[in-house]
Structure 1
Amino acid sequence: MAEQFWWVIYPYLALAIMILGLLYRYSYAQIGWGAPSTEILEKKYLRIGSLMFHWGIIFAFFGHVMGILIPKWLYEQLGVKDELYHFNAIVFGGIVGLVTWLGLIVLIVRKAANKRLQRKAKASDFVTLFSLFIIVTLGTSMTTLYNLFVHPYEYRDTIGPWFRGILTFHPDAALMAGVPLLFKIHVVFSFALFAIIPFTKLVHFWTLPLRYPARSPMQYRSRVNDKIKRP
């Protein structure tokens, strides 16, 4: 029953909360959909931490697509050997994970040490940062420490098919039975993060600036030039 709950019921429960929460927030609380910038309160460390985190998480997303959504047999058809795949996953995945992790450290310290940011911050902001920190720490540890010092775990035979089964509504809990505990915790926390997205600033993750290239340009005028032109 525990296996069925964690690997069949729990993922759909988390995704259902996310979808329903997004629909509700978009319908009744759209004014707070975005992530308000705190640049006016502190700029230096925001620029460093935000750039590192966002670029890191983008590359991490594509890394998960390559490792989880693309079946192992496709790599075999393309002639990519397991050794080459795991070497690239450890090297590039480790670099991406470390960059993302360091970016989160900067953002957490920035939020915790700046009193002006503390007064503006909500409890959900700290929950978001620490949830991301746990997930990224586990993911980076799996990619580097576990694969280097324990053994390269072939998640494409277990977690990959299981996750694709979630998307096709045919999840097989048996695939997760032999998965190392570290990987299981990472998966559980990741789905928990999906569930809290509608209630945090992470909601802006689902906003794509599709209309941005076609919008009208904004006109700015220097105050100095404006004073000179006045009679």
Structure 2
Amino acid sequence: MTTTLWTTLPYIAFTSFVLGHLWRYRNDQFGWTTRSSQIHESRLLRLGSPLFHFGMLGVVGGHVLGVLIPESWTAAVGISERSYHVLAVSAGSVAGAAVLAGIGILLYRRWTVPAVRRATTTNDKVMYALLAGALLTGVLNTVGSNLLWGRHNYRETVSPWFRSLFTAHPEPDLMVGTPWTFQAHALIVLALIAFWPYTRLVHMFSAPVGYLVRPYVVYRSKELAAPDKRRYARAWDSPATPPSR
């Protein structure tokens, strides 16, 4: 079971993530979109969307620092474990609060605005459920590690386990014995990674790079120049030419 959960499932999720995006790009470019519902409602969207997206930038940045960068590297540049912990908890709490507020507003909007609710597919519901689950278990990790069961140094368990998946020697045993919220968070994130290519989340990999090199679009004014106005006026006012016999 340990090997299945912490070695097999991650590789299945990563494979689905990579191949799913390739398949989607080759076969469904027209559907590669956020399927924006701004036309139905914009007031709540203007508030919830920035909170969610900017908060996610902070959350992802924190995960990159805490999971992908080894503890020895931050120590080598003079960042003590206490300093890292204070920075991670303070910045992570702000980013997490922004993301939770943002997704709460977006879910409220999805539920209360009839037009937006009708435009919500089953695919969207599963995606929102996975996102909400990942965020809630992430908050539980932060709260639990600092207030409930004592601080758990995930940089000695979860982080090296995740990094080991990209080596020839994965270490699933590192996840055994970690608090259940960390295990639940990891499994939900793996499910989200596997499901990602088949949702609207693919728009994260879209960037308007082509706008930097595309030719200018020339717009012509609807107003006619004075000579053109006179010419068209004369043509309009002149009697029709009688048909020739």
Same fold (TM over 0.5): yes
* Identity value in percent: 33
Q: Note if 1:72 corresponds to 2:71.
A: yes
2 CA distance for matches of 1:107 and 1:218?
A: 35
The structure with the largest alpha-carbon Rg is 2
Are the aligned partners of 2:144 and 2:150 in contact in 1 as well (CA < 8 Å)? no
Length, aligned pairs only:
227
**Equivalent position of 1:146 in the other structure:** 145
Matches within 5 A, 1:42-81: 42-81=41-80
1 CA distance for matches of 2:168 and 2:200?
A: 29
2 CA distance for matches of 1:220 and 1:43?
A: 28
**Equivalent position of 2:212 in the other structure:** 213
**Equivalent position of 1:32 in the other structure:** 31
Shift of 1:168: 2.2
1 CA distance for matches of 2:217 and 2:40?
A: 24
Matches within 5 A, 1:2-151: 2-151=1-150
Shift of 1:17: 1.5
Larger helix proportion, structure 1 or 2?
A: 1
Shift in alpha-carbon separation, 1:82–1:212, aligned structure 2, 3 A: same
- CA deviations 1:22-72 (Å, max 9, x no partner) are 121111111101112211110011111110111011111111010001000
Shift in alpha-carbon separation, 1:216–1:136, aligned structure 2, 3 A: farther
Shift of 1:87: 1.2
The letter for the 1-side match of 2:77 is L
Shift in alpha-carbon separation, 1:116–1:15, aligned structure 2, 3 A: same
The letter for the 2-side match of 1:192 is A
2 CA distance for matches of 1:103 and 1:218?
A: 36
Are the aligned partners of 1:86 and 1:152 in contact in 2 as well (CA < 8 Å)? no
Shift in alpha-carbon separation, 1:115–1:165, aligned structure 2, 3 A: same
1 CA distance for matches of 2:142 and 2:89?
A: 6
Shift in alpha-carbon separation, 1:210–1:148, aligned structure 2, 3 A: farther
2:17 is paired with a residue whose SS is helix
- CA deviations 1:125-149 (Å, max 9, x no partner) are 1211121111111112212343233
Shift in alpha-carbon separation, 1:220–1:188, aligned structure 2, 3 A: farther
So what's the TM-score if we normalise by structure 1?
A: 0.91
Shift in alpha-carbon separation, 1:121–1:89, aligned structure 2, 3 A: same
The letter for the 1-side match of 2:140 is S
The letter for the 2-side match of 1:176 is M
Shift in alpha-carbon separation, 1:63–1:229, aligned structure 2, 3 A: farther
Structure 2: stretches of 5+ with no match in the other structure: 230-245
The letter for the 2-side match of 1:119 is R
Structure 1: stretches of 5+ with no match in the other structure: none
